[in-house]
Amino acid sequence: MTLFLQQLMNGIGNGVIYASVALALVLIYRTTGVLNFAQGEMALFSTYITWKLTDWGVGIVAAIFISMLIAFAMGALVELVLIRPVEKKPPFVVLIVTIGMFLALNSITQLVFGTDEKQLPSAFGDHSWSVGDVRITGEFVGLICVLALTCTLLWILLQKTKLGLGLRAVASNPESARLVGISSGTMLMIGWAISASLGALGGAMYVPTTPALTAGSLQAVLVYAFAAAALGGFDSPVGAVVGGLIVGVAEALAIEYIEPLHDITLLVPFLLIGVVLLYRPTGLFGRNIVERV
């Protein structure tokens, strides 16, 4: 039982990270209809910036905030320079651009920051408490708080502010949005910027739970995040969070209890994606809009 609870907590901890990267994917997908394959590598670059800042002596929490701000600007720049020129092209073209960004960003990261392993401190220190036989780490509690806070702020932004209304209007009907005077370009830029920020946050949460920061650090996370988004529904922020948690827990339990999966845990998200696409292509929370005429 103890082992089960411990694995469950590990799973939720990872799930929180998958959820935050999945949220970033969903945000871009909802506002632009693009699956951003470079999401993980954008987060990777930001995580290296966070590391560089701590290397210069900046505190980890401050470093995360600064790198989120830098990521915000970079996300906007990426939309403006790389995505906008192909915006009206077929989705495949945009997809290829994001895959190109994936490769380019990974190489640029290695070029700028070197290829040796780095250590990124955790934002939550290494406190832990024992409840019975189960150990609850500060990291676990911190991750959950950060996710809860992120979700709340995103919800307020999207549902309660004028900017959020504009973002949703562009996502819903870009042409009509322009006809009421909303600059769709600006909205898409903001969508990419917020999403890149979320990625920076997710990266800085995730890397300290792994042995070291390397150029490959966030590639598996992207796969898990895609699984989470597919599971929850690509157009649903709630789905991204629930999907992330399910994928995280499924992975942790599979490692523990399914012997053959020990060394190939990446199989878990692919299996989940496969099953979801077979039985519920819109995901658990995805909407099948029925339009009446």
Partner 1 sequence: MSLLSVSDLRGGYGPVRVLHGLGFEVNAGEIVVILGANGSGKTSTIRAISGMLQATGSVRLHDEEILGKNPEAIARRRVAHVPQGRGTFPELTVEENLRVGAFSRKDSAVDEDIDRWLTTFPRLRERRTQLAGSMSGGEQQMLAISRALMMNPVLLLLDEPSLGLAPLVTQELFQKLAQLNRETYIAMLIVEQNANLALKTATRGYVLEAGEIVATGTSEELASNDEVRKAYLGMA
Which residues sit at the interface with partner 1, rule CB under 8 A?
162, 165-166, 168-169, 171-173, 175-184, 287, 289-293
| Separation CA 35–CA 269 (nearest Å) | 17
Residue 166 C-beta: closest distance to partner 1, Å:
6
Nearer Cβ to partner 1 (170/268): 170
* Closer residue to partner 1 in complex, CB, 13/239: 239
- The residue (of 152 and 176) whose beta carbon lies closer to partner 1 is 176
Select 138 or 185, whichever has its Cβ closest to partner 1.
Answer: 185
- Minimum gap (Å) between residue 292 Cβ and partner 1: 6
**183 closest CA partner among 84, 53, 254:** 84
Residues 6+ apart with CB under 8 A from 129: 135, 136
Q: How far is the CB of 32 from partner 1 (least distance, A)?
A: 15
Q: How far is the CB of 286 from partner 1 (least distance, A)?
A: 12
CA separation for the pair 233, 281 (Å, rounded): 8
Minimum CB–partner distance for residue 158 and partner 1 (Å): 11
Q: Which is nearer to partner 1, 81 or 180 (CB)?
A: 180
User: In Å, what is the CA distance from 253 to each residue of 6, 175, 222, 227?
Assistant: 10, 46, 20, 16
- The rounded distance, in Å, linking the Cα atoms of 239 and 228 is 8
- Give the residue with the Cβ less far from partner 1, 131 or 179: 179
Q: How far is the CB of 167 from partner 1 (least distance, A)?
A: 11
**3-class DSSP state of 136:** strand
- 130-135 own/partner pairs: CB under 8 Å, 24+ apart: 132/2, 133/2, 134/2, 134/5, 134/6, 134/9, 135/6
User: Which one-letter amino acid corresponds to residue 93?
Assistant: V
